[in-house]
Amino acid sequence: MKWLKRKKNEQPAPTLEQQRAEKLREMGAQLWAARQERSLSLDEMVVITKISRRLLQAIEEGNLEDLPEPVYIQGLIRQFADALGFNGAQFAKDFPVASAPVVTPPAPPPVNRSLGLLRPIHLYLLYIFVIVCSVSGLSHVLNKAAVSANESQPKPETVSQPAPEEEAIEAQPVSETVNTDQENQSVQIGVTLKEASWIRVVADGKTAFEGILPEGTHRIWKAQDELTVKTNNAGSVMMSVNQQAAKQMGEPGKPEEVKIAAKPQY
């Protein structure tokens, strides 16, 4: 019974998708903090990295569902980190990417001992039959491949990183989408902890979070009407409003409460 109880209490190992999401949130917080320290906006990072604003924001916020395949995510993280002064290759290698499956060669077919009992004429006829079947099958495959090649145009090979010309074309509609989102979105704050502190966030009159966040944590909250942020150590909290440059909430060791109301829409 004791063994069964221990087995029941064991937690299942996280899936590869969960590991990717957790690592992306951690790396995005580090990149966000580094960008804020250099007082660089996302639009400036688009010009430096040649990566669309939508992808840069998804990396910082840890939105795995808004990003492409894992191998492309790793390349985007490397470019982002290089632009902020990190060793991009070293920084991005921690993001988990699934390894290619190992292909094992098929086992050789078993030797049929009954062939030793066949007469030479039977073996000769069997060899002829095998050759005819092989030639017929190969001819069928080649004909099918030729028909498919005539019906379809060859597609260009997908590369891990888009060319600068393609990225430049993509940048303008992405910026328009973000501007539209900002018009519809009333208020947003981003918080980064320089040291562990207690924080309470109230969004539209409801408590969105209350507790102690560890050092280096980066979180984002959104609301339609009003956001209230309260902390017991204002000097350890860097806060940005609507993706602007982050500022310190107040003096170190002192409590502070900040209310951010949405702009009235006319």
Q: What is the pLDDT of residues 73-131, one digit of tens each?
A: 999 999 999 999 999 899 999 898 875 444 455 555 555 554 445 566 777 788 788 88
- For the CA atoms of 179, 181, 182, 187, the dihedral, rounded to the nearest 10 degrees, stands at -170
Q: In whole angstroms, how large is the CA radius of gyration of the chain?
A: 30
Q: What is the pLDDT of residue 174?
A: 35
What share of the chain in percent tops pLDDT 90? 31
Q: CA–CA distance from 248 to each of 35, 52, 201 (Å)?
A: 15, 28, 16
Q: Lowest-pLDDT range, 17-26, 147-156, 215-224?
A: 147-156
- The domain ranges of the chain are 14-99+161-180, 121-149, 185-261
Q: Lowest-pLDDT range, 61-65, 144-148, 149-153, 175-179?
A: 175-179
pLDDT beyond 70 at 163: no
pLDDT band with cut points at 50, 70 and 90 for residue 12: confident
Q: What is the pLDDT of residue 178?
A: 37
CATH number of this structure's domain 14-99+161-180 = 1.10.260.40
Report, as an integer, the average pLDDT of 237-265: 86
Amino acid making up residue 84: L
pLDDT beyond 70 at 45: yes
Q: What is the pLDDT of residues 241-253, one digit of tens each?
A: 988 888 898 999 8
Q: Which of the two residues, 237 and 135, has the higher pLDDT score?
A: 237
Q: Given CA atoms 15, 21, 25, 30 in this order, what sign does their dihedral have?
A: positive
Q: What is the pLDDT of residue 20?
A: 87
Q: What is the pLDDT of residue 36?
A: 95
Residue 132 contacts by C-beta under 8 Å, 6 or more apart in sequence?
A: none
Q: What is the pTM of this model?
A: 0.36
Structure tokens at 138: 């190969």
Structure tokens at 45: 């990072």
pLDDT beyond 80 at 9: no
Q: What is the pLDDT of residues 173-221, one digit of tens each?
A: 333 333 434 445 588 999 898 888 899 999 989 999 999 999 989 899 9
Structure tokens at 233: 């150590």
Q: What is the pLDDT of residue 64?
A: 84
